[in-house]
Chains A and B, each alone.
Chain A
Amino acid sequence: MNTRVNLCGTELKNPVLTASGTFGFGREYNEFYDVGKLGGIVGKGLTPLPREGNDGVRIAETPSGILNCVGLQNPGVDAFIRDELPFMRSLGCAVIVNAAGSEISDYEFMAERLSETDADMIELNISCPNVKSGGMAFGVLPKSVEQVTAAARKHCKKPLIVKLSPNVADIADNARAAEAGGADAVSLINTITGMAVDLRTRRPVLGNVTGGLSGPCVRPIALRMVRSVYKAVKLPVIGMGGIMTAEDALEFILCGATAVQVGTANISDPMAAARIVDSLEDAMKKYGINDINELTGALAD
């Protein structure tokens, strides 16, 4: 049975990655299990300078989902490279770094700075819904997706993944724009903008008023988008959106994902990503899959 996949030239022992922002830099979860058993980890979104993130309540629970508005709190790229990357690298799985910014020049800087490191790939975060300037602003219109991708591409010596926002008119157009800008892969979906309100206080629950919705409640939307993007571009697709079990992961792969990211499940259960890896072969056996690569995109639609 084969669970190995090749993602942009890096061999992953299995297609299970963790989603940015749900896994820190791997330290906390490595206290629960050997994170090296995962295909790879995607670190918390980084910016050129440290960021404190948003004030007030940052998380709310909704049916089969959560809303968050952390707002890219991170130690900044330099502290990350000094204090966190060596640890991530020591884990024994693929290391993907997630880079965000507020201006095109930030993305250029981040691509250049992170290209000097021993990370395997760079995921460009142009879809964070929780910061005022930048972030998602670049991820909405295909034209700016292409522009920011092309700018980062010029400075990037590593495989470049563009993480797409679902809060757009047609995500396939944005995937094509990322491809035209020189992306090596696309990952989707980032969170869907939503809100929760408190009838008693007549206030929004979240300090930032709105937040990003994730978890199993978004899975059908994510599957539809992964399928649509898989058909629209030649790039490998990394699928995510409410994956809680190995079967969920296989559904994304069937729709066209080469690899998947597990996000909200980590927050719900610190063992989630390990359990998905541990049950992957049994799930493959159950559905008659001998090589995980044969499943990618094989949906008969």
Chain B
Amino acid sequence: MKETTLIVTANEMLCEDACLLETEGDIPVFAPGQFAMLEVPLADRLLRRPFGIAEADGRSAAFLYQLKGEGTRALSRLKYGDRISAVLPLGNGFPVLSGKIAVVGGGFGVAPLLPAARACKAAGAEVRIYNGFASAEREFLSGLFAKAGSLTVCTDDGSAGYHGFPTAALEADLGGFFPDAIFCCGPTPLMRAAKRLGESRGITTYVSLEQRMGCGVGACLTCTCRAGGHNKRVCKDGPVFLSTEVEL
């Protein structure tokens, strides 16, 4: 991990509150599921923002982010050629497994699952992807996911694909596709559902947690989660945990 300057090559709105920031720079090798802390281009904002690394090779990296507050709105104004400081790659990612892998994503949580699905597919896994969005207008990155495995898009309102939670779509498939592992990242209710499904069916389940972060490197102890009666650091001990390790 290191602190480095990235140069913006594209900063594209995917839907009303989702943007994909594409950058170039000297990008260290990363494990799928690791994240980056990006500086916010506002002088009075001190905290970097944690984003999953959606795609990266040695020269480029892409980050999916949600327009949420002043900080991310300032990020969305970055243009081609602008410079931004990043700390990456951080935390522990998903394992790269062969066998049968179910990838379950929700909303902005799909970002770190893209490299995880790709890496498992490259390792010979049969990858099925269940990505959930609020509605058809809020769906993104499906073109890239479709190349990383067999994709089922799910929507909460039924406006596209499967009507319901992606965990429900996976559960409906279990008769024909019983995975060796589930990878999940998304809103807490979805991760709870994945934890419940995985643990009740005896499927090893990995969840990638999100928490308000300070330093992102494990020092400030602000992004904790409960694990076995103790606090663990989401940024350094996670963000990917075995579902059995953490309380959700």
Binding site for B on A (CB under 8 A): 21-24, 27-29, 31-32, 44, 52-53, 57-61, 63-66, 68, 70, 73, 215-216, 264, 266-271
Contacts and interface: CB of A to CB of B under 8 A. Distances in A.
Given A22-B220, A268-B47, A57 B215 contact: no
Contact of A64 (B46, B48, B219): B46
B215 A58 contact: no
A28 B218 contact: yes
Contacts of B220: 21-22, 24, 59, 68, 70, 267
B159 interface: no
A31 B89 CA distance: 12
Contacts of B39: 269
Given A27-B218, A32-B1, 10 more contacts: A28-B236, A29-B217, A52-B230, A58-B212, A58-B221, A59-B223, A61-B46, A64-B44, A267-B215, A268-B48
B50 to A, nearest CB: 12
B117 interface: no
Contacts of B222: 58-59, 68, 70
B208 interface: no
Given A73-B231, A269-B3, A61 B219 contact: no
Contacts of A22: 215, 219-220
Contacts of A61: 45-47, 71
B11 interface: no
B71 to A, nearest CB: 8
Given A58-B224, A61-B45, A64-B46, A271 B3 contact: yes
Given A22-B220, A24-B219, A70-B221, A215 B1 contact: no
Nearest to B217: A28
Contacts of B231: 52-53, 73
Nearest to B226: A55
Chain B interface size band reads: 20 to 34
A61 B50 CA distance: 14
A168 to B, nearest CB: 25
Given A31-B1, A73-B231, A268-B46, A59 B212 contact: yes
A52 B247 CA distance: 15
A168 B47 CA distance: 28
Given A66-B47, A264-B46, A270 B215 contact: yes
B95 interface: no
A267 B231 CA distance: 19
Contacts of B85: 269
Contact of B3 (A24, A32, A66, A70): A32
Contacts of A66: 46-47, 214
Contacts of B3: 32, 269-271
Contacts of A268: 46-48
A267 B218 contact: no
A209 B2 CA distance: 34
A194 to B, nearest CB: 14
B242 to A, nearest CB: 21
14 contacts: A22-B219, A24-B221, A52-B230, A53-B231, A58-B222, A59-B47, A63-B44, A64-B44, A70-B220, A73-B221, A267-B215, A268-B46, A269-B39, A269-B85
B87 interface: yes
Nearest to A51: B231
A216 B45 CA distance: 10
Contact of A73 (B1, B217, B224, B236): B224
A137 B121 CA distance: 58
Contacts of A29: 217, 219
B218 A24 contact: yes
Interface string B30-71: 000000000100001111100000000000000000000001
B68 to A, nearest CB: 12
A31 B3 CA distance: 11
A73 B225 CA distance: 13
Contacts of A266: 215, 219
Contacts of B71: 61
A270 B217 contact: yes
A65 B71 CA distance: 14
Contacts of A53: 221, 224, 231
B181 to A, nearest CB: 29
Nearest to A272: B3
B220 to A, nearest CB: 5
A189 to B, nearest CB: 17
A28 B44 contact: no
A269 B45 CA distance: 12
A282 B17 CA distance: 44
